[in-house]
């Protein structure tokens, strides 16, 4: 995640709130700081419209959606192939 600092991500929380923003920092506990945030459903969470920056505790994160062009799919495919080969043996 450290390589994604400065990139736009979407963080979905366990309470179904999804927050879009620019990744400012992340630590080993998945605590996340976002800047320039917006919520994906402002009608449901109108109190979040005035918030510009936020800190998200790692234990409440359900998913982090990464920019597609930042994911090394070749590396993931190679790792999946190696794991499948090891399970066959």
pLDDT by residue (tens digit) across 54-85? 999 999 999 999 887 877 778 878 888 888 88
pLDDT tens digits, 32-61:
999 999 998 888 888 888 889 999 999 999
- What is the mean predicted confidence (pLDDT) over 11-40? 93
Which two three-digit tokens encode residue 22? 């620019």
* Highest CATH level, class, for 2-87: mainly beta
pLDDT of residue 55: 96
Domain boundaries of the chain, sorted by first residue: 2-87
Within the chain, how many helices (H) and strands (E) appear? 1, 5
Residues β-bridged to residue 20: 10, 38
- Global pTM reads 0.77
């Amino acid at each position: 995640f450290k390589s994604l600092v400065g990139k736009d991500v979407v963080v979905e929380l366990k309470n179904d709130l999804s927050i879009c923003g620019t990744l400012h920092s992340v630590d080993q506990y998945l605590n996340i700081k976002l800047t320039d945030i917006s919520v994906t459903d402002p009608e449901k969470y109108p109190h979040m419209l005035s918030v510009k920056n936020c800190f998200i505790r790692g234990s409440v994160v359900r998913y982090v959606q990464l920019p597609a062009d930042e994911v090394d799919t070749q590396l993931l495919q190679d790792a999946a192939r190696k794991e499948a080969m090891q399970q066959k043996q």
